Amino acid sequence: MIRVWLLAAVLVLLASPLQAAHSDARKASVDANPYVFDPGGHGVLTVGNAEVLGHLELRASAVIQHLQRPIGVVASDTEWLRSLVDNRQQLDLAAAVGLLGRFEFGLILPIVVHQQGMFPGKGMGETKAFGLGDFRIVPKIMLLEESNAPLGLAVVLPVTLPTGDEQAWMGLREPSFEPRVVISRTLGRFQLALGLGYRFQARSEIFDFVDDDKASIAAMVRFRASARVDLGLEYSSSVRADAPFQSADEVSGNLGLGTQLRVGRGFAVSIGLGLGLPRGVPSPLFRASVGLSWSRELLTDLDGDGLLGRADSCPREAEDFDDFEDQDGCPEPDNDGDGILDGDDACPIEAEDFDGFEDEDGCLDPDNDGDGIADESDACVDRAEDLDGFEDEDGCPDPDNDGDGILDALDLCPEAPEVFNDNKDEDGCPDDVLAVLGNKEIVILERLYFASARSNLLRRSYPVLLAVARVLEENPSVRKVRVEGHTDAVGDDGYNLELSQRRAEQVVAKLIEQGVAAGRLEAIGYGEARAYAENETAGGRARNRRVVFTVVEQDSVTPAAEPAPAVEPAPAAEPAPAADPVPAADPAPAEDPAPAADPAPAADPAPAADPASAEDPAPAEDPAPAEDPAPAADPAPAADPAPAEDPAPAADPAPAADPAPAEQPASAEEPAPE
C-alpha cells in the first residue's frame, strides 16, 4: 500500500512542472490569426500597396478562411507538446471608404465561426468554438502618389480593440497598435509592394514561448493578367522585437498565393492558399481562403474635371485634357518631359533632342539640315547633302566631286577632273570627252561640221555623234531627245529654216545608224529664230550655227552621268580626206560646187547667205569643201571673196588656228555647228 502512494506522489511531481510553468494559464492571450485581408482591396490577399480609395469610394468584403494548426507549442526542437488550436474557420467582415484622394478609413471584424482549441494547461479542457475576434480600425494615409513620384508611399496605422476572447485564442487582452510604412511601384502589368511595421502589444507567455512586441515585414507582387484577373504572390513575417531569432517559436511567417476575378457591377471574387514559413507561433500549417468584395465609386468630382473616384488619380487637380494621358485625371504641364512647358512647346508629345539646333521650339529634329539623312548617320548635320550621286550617304555636300577646282554647278563633267592644258580648261571635262548628259540636254564638247550650205555631215563629226549615242545608251531614263538645228541670220529666213531642219534630220539619221532607237529622237529646225549670240559679228554668227540635243522626256532626275569619252572609229579615216585632196572620196564636198554654180541661188538671196556664212570663222574650219571648187578650176569661186578666204587656211596655219577662238565660247556653253 505504501508503494502505491509513493508511485502516485512521483507521478504528481512529474506532472507539476507543466502546471507550475503556467499557474495563470487562463490569462495567456495569443491571437491565433493575426493575418487579415486588406480592407481597401489594394492587394490580392493580405498585403496591400500604397494606394487609397478614391474620394468617398466605398468597399465592403467578406472572407472565409480555414487555418490548420495555427498554434502549436513545442517543448523541444523535435517534439510537439500540444496543439492549442488544431483548426479554425474564420469569417472576416470589412469595410473601407476613401477621403479626398489621400486618406482611407477601414474597419475589420473577425468572427470565429468554429475552431478546435485547447487551454494551455494539461487537463484544462477545450476553449470556446465560436466568438468574435479583436475589432480592427485601419487608417491609411497616402504620402506620395505614383503618378507624381518614383514610388508610391503610404502610412498604415492599424489599431486592435480587445473584443475577442483571449482565453479562446481569439484576441489579445489589451489593445495593440501596429504602424506600417508601405511603398509600391507599378511596372507595366506588374506591381510591387513592400511594408515594414512594428506591433506594440501586451506581453504574454505560454510555457517557453513569449508573445510580445514584434517587428514585421510584408512583400507583395501583383500581376494584371487581364482587365478582369489579377494574380498575387505575397510573404509576411514577424519576429519578437526585444530578442529576435532566439527562439524558433517566436519567428512566424506566411507565404500566400492568390487570384482575384472582377465579375462586374463592382463585385470581385478572390481565392487564396498559404503556408506557414517558418512555423512559429502563431503560424498555420496551411491556410485557404475564399472572399467576395463589392466596391462603388460615388459621383464626386472635387476638381471638376469629370473624372470620378478611382479613375481620378489627382482628385484635387483637374485634368488638362490635352490628349495626353487624359484618363488619369492629372494635369501634365510638360507631356513629353523635355523641360519645355506645353504652352511653349510646339511639339508637346515629342521631346526636344537638345542637339543645339532649334532647341527652343520643343520639337525633335532628327534631320537638322533636311537632307533626308538622319542626324545620327549624318557627318554634316547642319549642311545638307547635295544628293548628286557622289558620296551621298555621308550627309555632307560635295561642291566639287572630282576635285578639279571647278564647282559642280559649272562643271560639265563633275565626276571626271579637268586636264589643265590650256585647251578648253573651263568646261571641267578631260579633253577626250565629247558629250555629257547635263541638265535637260546632252552637251557636246566639240562642234558638228557640215558641208558648206549643205546638210551633209562631215566625217570629223562622227566621233561626237558616237559619244552622244553612248550617252543615250548609258542613260535609259532619257526617253526622248529633240535634235534642234539652228542657223545664223545671214540669208533668207525660209532657206535657213529648211537648212536647219535638214541638218537636224541628218543628225537623227546618223544616231539611228549608231543604234539609238528612232522613237527616242525627233528633229526640229529653228533656223535663225533662236539666236544664241549677236549676229553682227563673225564670232556671234558662228555660235548661232549650232545643233542642240534637248532632253524632252526623262523618267527621273538623274545626276550627271559619267562623260562619254571620245569614240573615234574613224580617226584613221580622217586622214584620208587630208591625204587625198580629191573630193570624190567625200560625196558631200563633191556636191558643194553645184549649189554655188547654180544660177538660181545666184539670183536668190539664199545663195548669198551661203557665202555670208562662209565669212564667219567657222568656214575656215572646213577647208575641204572650200578646196573642192579650186581643183575644179572654176573662176567663179575664185572671184568670190569667200573662196579667197578658203585657201588661206589651207596655205597658212594661222587661219587654221583662228577657228578655235570661235569655238571656245560655243564649247563652254553650247557647241556651235557649221
- Is it true that the peptide bond before 282 is cis, omega within 30 degrees of 0? yes
Instruction: Assess contact for 59 and 95: CB atoms under 8 A.
Output: yes
| Cell reading at 230 | 489579377
CA angle 264, 259, 283 (to 5 degrees): 135
Q: What is the DSSP letter of 245?
A: T
416 Cβ contact list (under 8 Å, min separation 6): 402, 429, 430, 433, 562, 563
In CATH, the architecture of 432-674 is: 2-Layer Sandwich (3.30)
Taken in order 263, 264, 267, 268, is the CA torsion positive or negative? positive
**493-513 vs 605-615: helix crossing angle, rounded to 10:** 60
Q: State phi, psi for 606 to the nearest 5 degrees.
A: -60, -45
CA angle 511, 517, 520 (to 5 degrees): 90
CA angle 273, 276, 279 (to 5 degrees): 170
Distance CA 59, CA 163 (A): 23
pLDDT at 485: 94
- The whole-number mean pLDDT for each consecutive block of 10 residues of the chain, a chain of 674 residues, reads 40 33 54 86 91 92 93 56 81 95 95 84 70 95 92 96 88 92 95 96 79 92 93 93 76 92 91 86 88 79 69 76 76 75 73 70 68 71 67 70 68 68 64 82 90 86 91 93 93 91 94 94 93 89 92 73 48 38 37 36 36 36 37 37 36 36 36 40
SS3 100: coil
CA distances from 241 to 118, 212, 251 (A): 27, 8, 10
Distance CA 159, CA 171 (A): 13
| Cell reading at 463 | 566621233
318 Cβ contact list (under 8 Å, min separation 6): 303, 304, 305, 331
Q: Taking Cα atoms as reference points, which of 464, 473, 396, 380 lies closest to residue 671?
A: 464
78 Cβ contact list (under 8 Å, min separation 6): none
End-to-end Cα spacing for the chain: 160
Instruction: Assess contact for 450 and 673: CB atoms under 8 A.
Output: yes
Which pairs with CB-CB distance under 8 Å and at least 24 residues apart come from 315-322? 315/54, 315/55, 315/100, 315/101, 316/100, 316/101, 322/348
| Cell reading at 418 | 579637268
According to DSSP, the residues that pair with 572 across neighbouring strands are none
CA angle 389, 390, 395 (to 5 degrees): 95
**Residue 434, number of CB atoms within 10 A of its CB:** 25
| Cell reading at 570 | 574613224
CA distances from 208 to 78, 246, 672 (A): 15, 12, 121
Residues of each domain in the chain carrying CATH 2.40.160.40: 27-296
Q: What is the DSSP letter of 606?
A: H
Q: Render the burial of 69-92: b for 16+ CB within 10 Å, e for the rest.
A: bbbbbbeeeeeeebbbbbbbebeb
**Residue 585, number of CB atoms within 10 A of its CB:** 15
Q: Taking Cα atoms as reference points, which of 36, 67, 35, 111 lies closest to residue 284?
A: 67
Distance CA 253, CA 349 (A): 48
Distance of CA 119 to the CA centre of its chain: 71
- The position carrying cell 514561448 is 209
The radius of gyration computed from the CA coordinates of the chain, to the nearest angstrom, equals 53
According to DSSP, the residues that pair with 267 across neighbouring strands are 264, 294
- Options 1.10.3720.10, 3.40.50.300, 3.30.1330.20, 2.40.160.40; CATH of 27-296: 2.40.160.40
According to DSSP, the residues that pair with 553 across neighbouring strands are 480
SS3 162: coil
What pTM, to 2 d.p., does this model score? 0.46
According to DSSP, the residues that pair with 372 across neighbouring strands are none
Residues of each domain in the chain carrying CATH 3.30.1330.60: 432-674
